[in-house]
Amino acid sequence: MELTLAGFESLSRYFREVYGPNAEVLRVLELTSGREKSGGELKGFGYGVPYLIEVSVGGEVRRVVLETIRPGGFGHEHFSDRAQILLWQHSAFNNLPKHVRSIDVGAFTASGALKSLGDCKEFFIITEFVEGKPYYLDLEAIKARGELSSLDVERCLALSNYLVEVHSVKGAGLEPLYVRRIRELIGHGECIMGLIDNYPSGLEYADEKTLMEIERRCLEWRWKLKKKTHRCARVHGDFHPWNILFRDGADFTALDRSRGEWGEPADDMAAMTINYLFYSLQAYGEIKGPFKELFEIFWENYLEKTGDEEILTIIQPFYAWRG
């Protein structure tokens, strides 16, 4: 597996960005094999293979090593995983005595160029702007008036049908990503253990013994669920009312997909439906009335159209996280 590169000139353009306009690449050597790559051969870099590159800068020859990370297990599945490691290394190598120095961190572009990222401090994303009002405002309105409208039911069904469609795409051959998502459900900084670590000490309703018991039970669930790789499917990853914008009728846009493209459908189901329970508890102190109706409408529609009764034996730790 190789990363595409548009030849020596592309490499030289990159080093001019790093070292200045007089930089020229003299030689590229594959360190593992000792084989030199000529200009005609230099069409790509192998994943995980280190390369010695000699660069002339104003008459001085500088020798640097270009390294990438091979995709695979151990949390390296997504290109963002590999970017995270390399960005951190660039920020940390030069802070430790006697450690090899980092010159730059960069990226291969789709066109075969190399792009320097060494002076980046934070990253951002630019998305299109969409009109709409967040779905939680609908739930607030239902809480205020105490009953459902026909539009409330229509929107609930639209969201349920959306997950039916999303989850219909199965992740055949992506079983390791399912195992990873189950592992992250327990140990990720945004998931169960991350939330527990952010509880302040001294809470009467969540003392250390209680939280340790929750973690222990969650570990038991991990060993149960990680075997369910046949369930790997396309997911949203953070499908809750604050990430849904409705316009007229049941037309909506989803926001802020999170934590990978593939996982367990129960994640999305728990993220949305637990909010019907939350709002019912806020309004009545128990599960009843319009929010109980929405909860049942959402679930009954989903189960009827997917036939996924197994999800009812899977969702418990996802509710524990979202709760």
Encoded amino acid at 314, one letter: I
Rounded to two decimals, the pTM is 0.85
Per DSSP, which regions of the chain are E strands? Answer: 2-4, 23-30, 35-37, 44-46, 51-57, 60-66, 106-108, 114-116, 133-134, 233-234, 244-246, 252-254, 262-263
The Cα–Cα gap between 141 and 162 comes to 23
Q: Is 46 helix (H, G, I), strand (E, B) or coil?
A: strand
Q: Which two structure tokens, joined as six digits, stand for 181? A: 């998502």
Q: Where in the chain is the domain with CATH 3.90.1200.10?
A: 133-322
Burial class (CB in 10 A: 0-12, 13-18, 19+), 180: buried
Sign of the torsion angle spanned by Cα atoms 70, 72, 75, 76: positive
Predicted local confidence at residue 295, as pLDDT: 98
What would you measure as the largest C-alpha separation in the chain, in angstroms? 79
Helix 289-306 vs helix 150-167: angle between axes, to the nearest 10 degrees? 30
The Cα–Cα gap between 321 and 270 comes to 9
Predicted local confidence at residue 42, as pLDDT: 47
CB 235 within 8 A of CB 264: yes
The Cα–Cα gap between 101 and 117 comes to 16
Spatial CA neighbour of 272 closest among 147, 163, 129: 163
CATH code, 133-322: 3.90.1200.10
Predicted local confidence at residue 48, as pLDDT: 75
Predicted local confidence at residue 314, as pLDDT: 97
Encoded amino acid at 189, one letter: G
Predicted local confidence at residue 70, as pLDDT: 87
- Tokens 């001294």 — which residue? 202
According to DSSP, residue 170 is labeled: B
Q: What is the mean pLDDT of each run of 10 residues along the chain (323 residues)?
A: 62 92 92 75 64 93 93 84 92 92 92 90 90 98 98 98 98 94 94 93 88 95 97 96 97 92 97 98 97 98 98 97 91
